[in-house]
Amino acid sequence: MYVIGEFLKNLALFRFIAWIKELIVGKLFRGLLKTVLVLVIAVAVLFVVYFWNLDQKLLGWAYKQVNLIFDQKKVDQVF
């Protein structure tokens, strides 16, 4: 009877340890999966920006907007 009780305690402890291990590995895997997903999305966005030169187009637009603002100001530089 004592041997069966010890066996059941050990079995319960083993199941508990297995459950904890599964929980940790599951969270680790989910975290790793999210990290990989974020990195893939970041690389895809950077590739699209590079492929279509969107950074240069944005800077060109911003340059024109800044020039519109500063061209309206009166310049009084005397040489």
3-state secondary structure 36-76: HHHHHHHHHHHHHHHHCCHHHHHHHHHHHHHHHHHHCCCCC
Measured CA to CA, the distance from residue 16 to residue 10 in angstroms comes to 10
Q: What is the pTM of this model?
A: 0.58
Measured CA to CA, the distance from residue 32 to residue 10 in angstroms comes to 32
Lowest-pLDDT choice from 1-15, 30-44, 55-69? 1-15
How much is the pLDDT for 69? 85
Distance of CA 53 to the CA centre of its chain: 23
How much is the pLDDT for 1? 52
What are the phi and psi torsion angles at 76 (to 5°)? -130, 65
Q: Look at 71 and 32; give whichever has higher pLDDT.
A: 32
Mean residue pLDDT of the chain comes to 85
Residue 5 banded pLDDT, cuts 50, 70, 90: low
